Amino acid sequence: MLLWLATITPGEFPHRGKDHLQLRWVTADDVATLSWLTGDRQIIPTMQQLLTR
């Protein structure tokens, strides 16, 4: 899985891609509560670490 980090430019709004049902902000703690495919769960610790910097 590739992981992309981004920041939002003030005044701009992110848009949900056509391949996803929803777009929402979550905290580092919330990442583990999302519905992940089994093979993708291995990236959770890395995401949590990056989100708490």
**How does pLDDT run across 9-26, given as a tens digit for each residue?**
899 888 888 888 888 888
Round to whole Å and give the CA distance between 43 and 17. Answer: 21
Round to whole Å and give the CA distance between 38 and 36. Answer: 6
pLDDT at 7: 81
The whole model's pTM is what? 0.67
Contacts of 46 (CB under 8 A, 6+ apart): 3
The conformational region for residue 11 under phi > 0 = left, psi -120 to 50 = alpha, else beta, is left
Could you tell me what percent of the chain has a pLDDT over 90?
42
pLDDT at 45: 94
pLDDT at 38: 94
pLDDT at 6: 78
